């Protein structure tokens, strides 16, 4: 199964707003006045074309903290900062467009900004691009080959498990590589210990190479791990059991992932 990583959010605004250059204020002021002074300073910096100021005001307008919510004005400021290569703006804009929080989901635009983020944050950007192409959606065509390429660049278990899954279950035969999936799946479990996701992926890999005996044994272990979890996920268990039925019938598993709408 495809696994995701926690999104990156940058809405820690209070500290950013109340920070100022040394000696900017020499007498104590009420907190509200300090914040408004900082906002006034940011507005001036925006008028001077400062990308960081565009980013901070944009995030405030997007979140509705300290400034009224204004999605269009916020998006304009974030895009200005991102186009000026301000990395925090690129990261934030890409994540918000990908997750569909604060801004409507737009995978085509998210893909654009993640491509730009590759220059400064290649691991995170590659993981997100891998997920986008593994899933597909409005504005982006599903592409196992591109997803496999991006996940292959990321050095963490979540990305590597996603790679196993795609190599084993991609509907397009030209992108499947069962032997590679089995070797990688076994190595991940040896390194990280047994878990429902890793076992599920390895079972799919065994099924892809026609080793249905090991696919069944491994999938049953995946189900046991899922059933023993402190908080049972009934939908996950149902999916694992459905794949087990495939392997009992000597059928490999094929899946098309879709992002939630």
What is the DSSP secondary-structure string of 129-185? HHHHHHH-BTTB---HHHHHHHHHT--SHHHHHHHHHHHHH-SSGGG--HHHHHHHH
Backbone angles phi, psi at 184, to 5 degrees: -70, -40
CB-neighbour burial class of residue 175 (10 A; exposed 0-12, middle 13-18, buried 19+)? middle
Same domain (yes/no): 145, 112? no
Q: Which domain holds residue 197?
A: 129-261
Highest mean pLDDT: which range of 39-43, 202-206, 231-235: 202-206
pLDDT for residue 27 is more than 80: no
140 bridge partner residues: 137
Widest pairwise Cα distance in the chain: 77
Same domain (yes/no): 51, 78? yes
Q: What total of structural domains would you count in the chain? A: 2
Specify whether the CB–CB gap between 205 and 167 falls below 8 A: yes
Summary mean pLDDT of the chain: 89
pLDDT for residue 237 is more than 50: yes
As a whole-number percent, the residues of the chain with pLDDT over 90 amount to 75
Backbone angles phi, psi at 185, to 5 degrees: -60, -45
The span from the CA of 216 to the CA of 203, in Å, is 7
pLDDT for residue 195 is more than 50: yes
Of 14 and 240, the structure prediction assigns the larger pLDDT to: 240
pLDDT for residue 18 is more than 70: no
**pLDDT for residue 65:** 84
Mean pLDDT of 175-198: 97
Global pTM?
0.83
Which stretches within 10-143 are classed as H helix? Answer: 13-18, 31-47, 51-63, 71-83, 87-99, 107-117, 122-135
Same domain (yes/no): 244, 224? yes
Same domain (yes/no): 73, 138? no
As a whole-number percent, the residues of the chain with pLDDT over 70 amount to 87
Same domain (yes/no): 190, 65? no
Instruction: Quick: pLDDT tens for 118-157.
Output: 999 999 999 999 999 998 888 899 999 999 999 999 999 9
Tell which of 120, 147, 165 closes a domain: 120
Same domain (yes/no): 166, 213? yes
The span from the CA of 128 to the CA of 151, in Å, is 9
**pLDDT for residue 24:** 46
Tell which of 73, 103, 120 closes a domain: 120
Same domain (yes/no): 75, 138? no
Same domain (yes/no): 101, 170? no
Instruction: Quick: pLDDT tens for 79-115.
Output: 999 999 999 999 999 999 999 988 999 999 999 999 9
**pLDDT for residue 23:** 46
**190 contact partners, CB below 8 Å, separation of at least 6:** none
Q: Which of 172, 248, 238, 234 is nearest to 206 (CA)?
A: 248
Mean pLDDT of 26-43: 79
């Amino acid at each position: 199964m495809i696994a995701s990583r926690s999104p990156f959010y940058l809405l820690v605004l209070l500290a950013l707003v109340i920070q100022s250059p040394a000696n900017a204020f020499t007498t104590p002021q009420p907190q509200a006045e300090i914040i408004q002074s900082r906002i006034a300073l940011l507005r001036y910096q925006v008028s001077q074309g400062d990308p960081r100021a565009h980013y901070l005001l944009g995030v405030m307008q997007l979140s509705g903290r300290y400034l009224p919510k204004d999605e269009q004005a916020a998006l304009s400021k974030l895009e200005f900062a991102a186009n000026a290569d301000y990395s925090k703006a690129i990261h934030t804009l890409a994540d918000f467009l990908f997750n569909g929080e604060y801004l409507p989901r737009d995978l085509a635009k998210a893909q654009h900004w993640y491509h730009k983020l590759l220059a400064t944050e290649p691991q995170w950007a590659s993981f997100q691009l891998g997920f986008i192409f593994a899933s597909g959606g409005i504005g982006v065509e599903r592409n196992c080959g591109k997803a496999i390429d991006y996940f292959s660049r990321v050095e963490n278990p979540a990305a590597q498990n996603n790679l196993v899954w795609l190599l084993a279950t991609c509907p397009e035969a030209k992108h499947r590589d069962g032997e590679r999936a089995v070797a990688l799946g076994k190595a991940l479990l040896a390194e990280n210990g047994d878990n429902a996701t890793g076992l599920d992926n390895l079972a799919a890999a065994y099924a892809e190479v026609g080793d249905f005996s090991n696919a069944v044994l491994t999938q049953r272990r995946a189900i046991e791990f899922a059933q023993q979890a402190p908080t049972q996920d009934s939908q996950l268990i149902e999916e694992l059991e459905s794949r087990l039925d495939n392997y009992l019938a000597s059928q490999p598993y094929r899946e098309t992932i879709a992002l939630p709408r």
